[in-house]
Amino acid sequence: MRNLRTVLSVILALSLCLCLTACGGSKTEEAPAVKSGVEDGVLTIAMECAYAPYNWTQYDDSNGAVPISGSEGEYANGYDVMIAKKLCEANGWELEVIRTDWDSLVPGVQSGIYDAVIAGQSMTTDRMQQVDFAGPYFYASIVCLTRADSAFASAKGLKDLSGGRCTAQIATIWYDSMLPQIQGADIQTAAETAPAMLMALETGSVDFVCTDMPTALGACAAYSDMVLLDFTGSEDNFDADEGEINIGISMMKGNTALKAAIDSVLSKMTVDDFNALMDQAISVQPLSE
């Protein structure tokens, strides 16, 4: 009987050992690591190429513009391109720029069509649930633009904009989060692009628009009749959290290698460095010439 018990104990122990080994094996299996996308030595990025001074399209390679992939004779330039070139120079990558519309930026990076998006994206909580962000690579306060001949040109706070017709670019914090903070505002249909937003203001379709500081400064350089409304320091200003002001570079969730490579460059740049580069972009944007 004792021998039988001993044999049964050994069999049970072996069975338990095999079971634990099998279970342990399944637990240690890890999901495949996300590739950086730059294994080929090329950083492929996406942007609208229609969002000055962050990015725009031009028809020569002046001022450091780079070719737009698949678009013969068209070049991308702007703050985003300038930042991308610094990243590539530091990491020994070549740069490829893909032009796409705003709503395609996040889905494209999620599916791996391009490695990263450098397109003036705010680092919002919603976006950070969909993609990972490196940066920030700029800090952009929220402002409004109106025309010099507008009754709203002397506005000192949000309450002074009540009753005005307004818009902003579609699928941005400007339209979704900022304009609703203006009590009594007559919010119009969102503009498909930043240029369309500015044209709505220029043609009188709206009384003012909401945007970020770089876009507003670029617009004032391009349109002499536009006036910047900056309520910074006022108690009657937009309520924006840090993620809505911080501008970052998005990439596929889990792409830690690319994020680290980009952050290693951006972390060495100061706010003054970012502002100086943005000033340079504004000075060479096509409409300001």
200, 221, 239 — which closes off a domain?
239
User: How wide is the angle at C-alpha 47 spanned by C-alphas 45 and 50, nearest 5°?
Assistant: 155
Answer yes or no: do 250 and 227 share one domain.
Answer: no
- Contact 152/207 with Cβ under 8 angstroms? yes
Instruction: Write the DSSP assignment of 111-127 as a string of letters.
Output: HTSSSEEEEEEE--HHH
Answer yes or no: do 126 and 150 share one domain.
Answer: no
Answer yes or no: do 121 and 264 share one domain.
Answer: yes
pLDDT (tens, 9 = 90+) of the chain, 289 residues, equals 444 444 444 444 444 444 444 444 444 455 557 899 999 999 999 999 999 999 999 999 999 999 999 999 999 999 999 999 999 999 999 999 999 999 999 999 999 999 999 999 999 999 999 999 999 999 999 999 999 999 999 999 999 999 999 999 999 999 999 999 999 999 999 999 999 999 999 999 999 999 999 999 999 999 999 999 999 999 999 999 999 999 999 999 999 999 999 999 999 999 999 999 999 999 999 864 4
What residue numbers bound the domain in which 160 lies? Answer: 142-239
Return the pLDDT at 33.
76
Domain-embedded: residue 154: yes
Structure tokens at 132: 């990972």
Place of tokens 């505002």: 185
Instruction: Write the DSSP assignment of 254-266 as a string of letters.
Output: T-HHHHHHHHHHH
Return the pLDDT at 30.
55
Domain count, the chain: 2
Domain-embedded: residue 6: no
Answer yes or no: do 150 and 225 share one domain.
Answer: yes
Report the CATH number at residue 205: 3.40.190.10
Return the pLDDT at 287.
65
Nearest-angstrom CA–CA distance, 251 and 46: 10
Answer yes or no: do 253 and 116 share one domain.
Answer: yes
Domain-embedded: residue 16: no
How far is Cα of residue 127 from the mean position of the Cα atoms in its chain?
9
User: How wide is the angle at C-alpha 201 spanned by C-alphas 102 and 194, nearest 5°?
Assistant: 15
Answer yes or no: do 186 and 106 share one domain.
Answer: no
Domain-embedded: residue 3: no
Answer yes or no: do 87 and 201 share one domain.
Answer: no
Return the pLDDT at 81.
98
Nearest-angstrom CA–CA distance, 149 and 163: 17
